[in-house]
Structure 1
Amino acid sequence: MTPTDAFTSKQPISERSDLSQPADYLKRYYGYDLFRPMQEDIIKSITSGRDTVVLMPTGGGKSVCFQIPALMLPGITVVVSPLIALMKDQVGALHMNGIPAAFYNSTQSGREQRIIEDDCISGKLKLLYVSPEKLLTEAFFTFLKHVTVSLFAIDEAHCISSWGHDFRPEYTQLHVLKKQFPAVPTIALTATADKLTRHDIATRLGMNDPAIFISSFNRQNLSLQVLPGQNRIQQIIKLLQQKPDTSGIIYCLSRKSTESLAAKLQEKGFNAAFYHAKMDPADRSRTQEAFLRDDVKIMCATIAFGMGIDKSNVRWVIHYNMPKNIEGFYQEIGRAGRDGAAAQTVLFYSFADVATYKEMLAENNPANLGLQLAKLERMQQYADAHTCRRQILLSYFSEELPEPCGNCDVCRDPRVTFDGTVLAQKALSAIVRTGERVPMNLLIDILRGSRSQAVLQGGYDQIKTYGAGRDLRFEDWRNYLHQLINVGVIEVGYDQHYALRRGILADQVLKGNRKIDLVRPDDAPKQVVEKTRTKPDATRDDLFEQLRVLRKQLADDQNVPPYVIFTDTTLEDMARQRPTTPDALRNVSGVGERKLQLFGRKFLEVIARYVRETSGRGTVVRTIVNETPKRSTQQQTLDLYNTGMTIAEIAAERQLTTGSIASHLVQVAKSGYNLDLETLISSFVSPAERADIERAIQAVGIQEGRLKAIFDHLEGRYDYGKLTLVAGAFDR
């Protein structure tokens, strides 16, 4: 069977009567009941025809934001991606979800490309992934004129901005899309862009009054840690011994370092490989594929490895050397924990790394040398920081975290602080009185009452705050200003010759509404290796391991990475719920209809066998059994119901639909729990409503537990919660 035969529906997706709202597509194709924050609003913006800019952290669900509009809109969505090597995996993942898609790049023959063009013209495909180089050819533009383009999606959009950390000249030509297709909306997506880069993206793409969505950059599941740069290999070995049989990435500055580190780890018995840009392309591709498919657990790599890596079960990221800017660092650590489960990030830091970068920059002398040096300094400030590291990262992207995160090394081992509000007010007053035009060193001279030529020429000796900080040494002021930048009191105007400006907290501090704690330069304690938690993960039990083995077998059979079959979090949910029927498996987060058809039977067989063996029975229970691990999703619902909460209140509390809550209660009632289904129905459904729903059930019937036909027959008069309860009793 070919991919087209297996994954392309005969009926055009946009014409299916059972799909009307974005949430319908989310459930059918991705297996989720609820959108993540902002996703649904982004989708509605695009489907209304508006240009849209999306800033969402790695693992935040950017792809859904353009893939669902692609399914909803007539025609085809063209996705511009800079990474040819990853297009195949991205398209393979779409196929597994039952979404017809293809990639179009220089690795294909002319015949293969003509077949794809014909599929686009005939309406067989909904998404087409293409590199910017291929997109901008005259031949491709001619082809596009023969198809209905519904949307242009520009992935890794920060590449278009010279202010960004990964500028790519070919991206600057993408403004021609608006000139050639002015009526087609454009969505630009990136995980890393500061305020300056965000504006540049919209301008350079020629967007028309774009809607801008900025998701929280707070990846709470990632722990943050900085360790001293001495004895790095020994420290890495200790860290890896704490995390056996897990996938992770170690980023190195040089190609030579990746090879030597991988060799040393292999000598110690670790399953490691290396990756860098100078490898033979075939070897590089095989190495990346081995990591994605869990055949290699540890990847020692330069930053050439990673952009667009969708591997969801990366449990840790280590930086052997300090990155050269915060954007790159944030994007790289974001490759850990994409499934939402806990993940660890570790940065090894020494001043030698800073010196190496400065030498490289001096040797290359790039046009934006000043900008790169300033961003390197911000990265160094993060590594040197004495305050919550997550607050520092978020303030860089103009987001405030009101309280320390509790999940970084500084929070776990707090520094000794003092009330630095008056110092902050002095610095801000000087910044305001100089018109937010002076860089850090000049500001310090003003505060310390220097008679330097720059101070006198600017007339800064006449302002009220001149000399207000003469009691502190120059280096102390510099340290405190770095801390104030890190927490968002002050920001750096990179586009204004690095002048210091008021940050997101400045007004609160100036008005006396915000206290600022600072750390004295000599009060930072010595860093230590983070200890692992001794408490076992209850979700990673024997059943989870059996499901993971099955997933790997199926992935190898399908020639895709394991996470494309199901993520770790989906397997954990299966291990918790232990479904043994297709309907029960539908309630597992991440199980869509296509994957249910392709893999459901095999996973249910493993679960049923496990339930039989652990329960000591010879028959298969229907859904939830008494041996289910404590606090399954159904049991959480039952616990809340037993406290007296209504279905609507439980749905709000658990952020699920009333239909999902009703389904949980029906399942546990049928599994022998002490729950009276009739009493439950009478408290939620009136007699007249129940009679009406039962007549609809008799007229339409219940097919494999699907209630959409009944919902449509009743013209949407009753929500899925009421339908589920009545159907559950009707089916007993």
Structure 2
Amino acid sequence: MQTTASSLDAVCGQLRETFGFDQFRGRQGDVVERVLAGQSTLAVMPTGAGKSLTYQLPAVMLEGTCLVISPLIALMHDQLRSARANGIRAATLTSADADWRETIDAFRAGALDLLYVAPERASQPQFRDMLHAAPLALFAIDEAHCVSEWGHDFRPDYRQLRPLMDAFPQVPRLALTATADRQTRDDVLAQLGIPADGLVLAGFDRPNIRYTIGHRDNPVRQLTQVMAEHSGPGIVYVPTRRKTEELADKLAAATGRPVRPYHAGLEPERRAANQAAFVASEDMVIVATVAFGMGIDKPDVRFVAHVGIPKSIEGYYQETGRAGRDGDPALATMLWGASDFATARARLEEVPQDRRGAERARLDSLAALVETPGCRRALLLRHFGEDPPAQCGNCDNCLSPPGVTDVTELARKLLSAAYRTGQSFGFGHLQKVLTGAADERVRQRGHDSLSVFGIVGSDEAPLLQPLSRALQARGALVSTEHGGLALGGDATAILKGEQPVAIVVPPKRSRGRRGDSTPNPVGDPLFEALRALRKELADEAQVPPYVVFHDATLRAMAQARPASLAELSRIPGVGAKKLEAYGDRFLRVLGEN
């Protein structure tokens, strides 16, 4: 299909009829145009930019079935609900589907616009044989960074997709991802057989997300504050399975909100129930390991919190990107400690030698992100090769610029203390030595006779702890197996005076702003009535409320107050199928309020 002026009119008409939108967002239109023209494409689009629309719309317009390869069953089922709610003929073919015979019959009969499968199934010879039974319109590879060993979520089964697609050379390929640096993008293009000029780079910025990063001192209190300021759904990422259940119980007790744990060690039934409850809820918080989230396409998550550092800056971008997919204001906050970096740097020794340099660079990028006094968003976007403005106006450092102080001499004192005490003592002991504390253990070790004893005065002493965290984040101080601190990284250069050290002076605590973070910032009772109807309809259909309509659509209804189906059809997000299914009941509520 060539996109002439007349066919572009048809594309926009189909966009309005199926999804209820009058225009594309961002680079969506460029991707759809390439797909309809039969051109293979790698689209790198930020989470929440509407990647699924770029294959769902062509699937409705093209002859044949669009085969969607997706990594997780939960993600497929989530997208299946949304596609069917928009009137798209869609099905999944997974180990969790009892209706697989009906799905295969529907595919053979040409009665499917979309067929979702996992890469493990797509690579099987018998599945490839089945695909020859009916015309294919498109291969859509979701989470395409999984095909690259340079990506942060490498999945070997994705490497088997190229032979499958090569067996259908006339069928275009659309690879989709939100997280791929330059090296990963080049690898994805090569691995999936997409020409280099097929890259559509939509950028990585998520302007509706506010980034905040701070030191972890009392995570229950800190997260309780976040939950008080964000009444909608939230995700809290923690590093271990044990901590998910422990923290979930404490947050539930402290806030009275519904809070559930999620990790791979839970019984499958409980894990599935917790995920389903979160997807359907409008206020639940889930405390999870990173095993949670890749299969969730929930648009109304109002905050994502990390208790500890993520595995990489790409992982951080992807995980925080699960907030605010509906475009409404959302928060991404990280609570970190020096021990997080100590653990991460120790794990580098387990990484194969040929990948260690790249992984160390990723960890250094995370250290720079948590320690920067400048714009968090700018640093994040520069990591992905963009050239952003110096300030974003929507991160903690832009909203409350921190002070920066030169601590080069203090750093030399701290590193000297670590060295002269044998590189086997923790920060608490080094602090006592440097400040000249009257401590029995210091005297027993003879450390009160060292040249570094008492060389830090009361004016510098408060800076020792943030300095220690900063040196551990950058790797100049590293933890020993017994919990001591040893010299590493650029410590020698700092000691010689060849490397300056500056740290951020944390700003005083201030309560975060709310208001714009809630679904109903102006407290409109009509909006609440529309939300109540949405919940009722969602319960009847056994789907999450956002499958019926997003909050933004309800706010537009409350503002415009349409009085007829024709007027309601002009509200963004109200497509033909949803107008037919829900229109009369929403008009009734609009008329009564």
User: Is TM (by shorter chain) over 0.5?
Assistant: yes
Pair 1:181-2:183 in alignment? no
CA distance in 2, matches of 1:294, 1:303: 20
Do the aligned residues in 2 keep the contact of 1:391 with 1:405 (CA within 8 Å)? yes
Secondary structure of the 1:158 match is helix
Q: Structure 1: which 4+ aligned runs deviate by more than 6 Å? A: none
Pair 1:168-2:149 in alignment? no
CA distance in 2, matches of 1:182, 1:108: 30
Instruction: Spell out the pairing of 1:432-511 with structure 2 (5 A cutoff).
Output: none
The equivalent residue for 2:565 is 582
CA distance in 2, matches of 1:599, 1:71: 22
Taking a change above 3 Å as real, the CA distance of residues 201 and 303 of structure 1, as seen in their structure-2 partners, is same
Do the aligned residues in 2 keep the contact of 1:22 with 1:40 (CA within 8 Å)? no
Taking a change above 3 Å as real, the CA distance of residues 139 and 20 of structure 1, as seen in their structure-2 partners, is farther
The equivalent residue for 2:114 is 127
Query: Deviation of residue 577 (structure 1)?
Result: 1.1
Taking a change above 3 Å as real, the CA distance of residues 219 and 340 of structure 1, as seen in their structure-2 partners, is same
One-letter amino acid of the counterpart of residue 266, structure 1: A
Pair 1:115-2:102 in alignment? yes
Do the aligned residues in 2 keep the contact of 1:53 with 1:210 (CA within 8 Å)? no
Count residues in correspondence: 497
Residue of 181, 199, 210 corresponding to 2:186: 199
Query: Deviation of residue 580 (structure 1)?
Result: 2.0
Residue of 41, 57, 82 corresponding to 2:46: 57
Pair 1:550-2:539 in alignment? no
Taking a change above 3 Å as real, the CA distance of residues 108 and 398 of structure 1, as seen in their structure-2 partners, is same
Query: Deviation of residue 357 (structure 1)?
Result: 2.1
Instruction: Spell out the pairing of 1:37-436 with structure 2 (5 A cutoff).
Output: 37-109=26-98, 112-244=99-231, 246-268=232-254, 269-294=256-281, 297-363=284-350, 368-415=355-402
The equivalent residue for 1:32 is 21
Residue of 494, 510, 513 corresponding to 1:532: 513
CA distance in 2, matches of 1:281, 1:367: 37
Do the aligned residues in 2 keep the contact of 1:91 with 1:103 (CA within 8 Å)? yes
Query: Deviation of residue 377 (structure 1)?
Result: 1.7
Do the aligned residues in 2 keep the contact of 1:276 with 1:284 (CA within 8 Å)? yes
Do the aligned residues in 2 keep the contact of 1:156 with 1:190 (CA within 8 Å)? yes
Query: Deviation of residue 51 (structure 1)?
Result: 0.8
One-letter amino acid of the counterpart of residue 21, structure 2: Y
One-letter amino acid of the counterpart of residue 79, structure 1: V
CA distance in 1, matches of 2:316, 2:585: 40
Q: Which moved more, 1:295-304 or 1:183-192?
A: 295-304
CA distance in 2, matches of 1:528, 1:25: 50
Aligned identity (percent) is 41
CA distance in 1, matches of 2:345, 2:260: 29
The equivalent residue for 1:629 is none
Query: Deviation of residue 20 (structure 1)?
Result: 5.8
CA distance in 1, matches of 2:185, 2:55: 19
Taking a change above 3 Å as real, the CA distance of residues 570 and 49 of structure 1, as seen in their structure-2 partners, is same
Structure 1: tracts of 5 or more residues without a match: 1-16, 419-475, 484-518, 611-732
CA distance in 2, matches of 1:307, 1:249: 12
The equivalent residue for 2:453 is none
Pair 1:605-2:591 in alignment? no
Pairwise CA RMSD of aligned residues? 2.5
Taking a change above 3 Å as real, the CA distance of residues 563 and 223 of structure 1, as seen in their structure-2 partners, is same
Query: Deviation of residue 370 (structure 1)?
Result: 3.1
Taking a change above 3 Å as real, the CA distance of residues 152 and 529 of structure 1, as seen in their structure-2 partners, is farther
Do the aligned residues in 2 keep the contact of 1:273 with 1:296 (CA within 8 Å)? no
CA distance in 2, matches of 1:391, 1:71: 38
CA distance in 2, matches of 1:134, 1:253: 31
One-letter amino acid of the counterpart of residue 521, structure 1: A
Taking a change above 3 Å as real, the CA distance of residues 528 and 227 of structure 1, as seen in their structure-2 partners, is farther
Between 1 and 2, higher relative CO (CA 8 Å, sep ≥ 6) is seen in: 2
Structure 2: tracts of 5 or more residues without a match: 1-5, 406-466, 475-499
Query: Deviation of residue 302 (structure 1)?
Result: 0.8
Do the aligned residues in 1 keep the contact of 2:213 with 2:370 (CA within 8 Å)? yes
Query: Deviation of residue 365 (structure 1)?
Result: 5.7
Do the aligned residues in 1 keep the contact of 2:180 with 2:314 (CA within 8 Å)? yes
Taking a change above 3 Å as real, the CA distance of residues 364 and 394 of structure 1, as seen in their structure-2 partners, is closer
Query: Deviation of residue 528 (structure 1)?
Result: 3.2
One-letter amino acid of the counterpart of residue 61, structure 2: M
One-letter amino acid of the counterpart of residue 218, structure 2: N
The equivalent residue for 1:624 is none
Q: Which moved more, 1:275-284 or 1:147-156?
A: 275-284
Secondary structure of the 2:175 match is strand
Do the aligned residues in 2 keep the contact of 1:52 with 1:211 (CA within 8 Å)? yes
Taking a change above 3 Å as real, the CA distance of residues 556 and 361 of structure 1, as seen in their structure-2 partners, is farther
One-letter amino acid of the counterpart of residue 531, structure 1: G
Taking a change above 3 Å as real, the CA distance of residues 227 and 416 of structure 1, as seen in their structure-2 partners, is closer
Query: Deviation of residue 583 (structure 1)?
Result: 1.1
Taking a change above 3 Å as real, the CA distance of residues 206 and 387 of structure 1, as seen in their structure-2 partners, is same
CA distance in 2, matches of 1:548, 1:570: 11
Do the aligned residues in 1 keep the contact of 2:74 with 2:295 (CA within 8 Å)? no
The equivalent residue for 1:723 is none
Secondary structure of the 1:128 match is strand
Secondary structure of the 1:594 match is helix
One-letter amino acid of the counterpart of residue 13, structure 2: D
Q: Deviations over 1:114-135 (max 9, x none)?
A: 2212211212111000000011
Do the aligned residues in 2 keep the contact of 1:226 with 1:527 (CA within 8 Å)? no
The equivalent residue for 1:456 is none
Do the aligned residues in 1 keep the contact of 2:78 with 2:296 (CA within 8 Å)? no
Secondary structure of the 1:227 match is strand
The equivalent residue for 1:445 is none
Do the aligned residues in 1 keep the contact of 2:393 with 2:399 (CA within 8 Å)? yes
CA distance in 2, matches of 1:534, 1:203: 46
Query: Deviation of residue 417 (structure 1)?
Result: 7.4
One-letter amino acid of the counterpart of residue 103, structure 1: T
The equivalent residue for 1:594 is 577
One-letter amino acid of the counterpart of residue 242, structure 2: K
TM-score (norm 1): 0.65
Query: Deviation of residue 282 (structure 1)?
Result: 1.8
Do the aligned residues in 2 keep the contact of 1:272 with 1:300 (CA within 8 Å)? yes
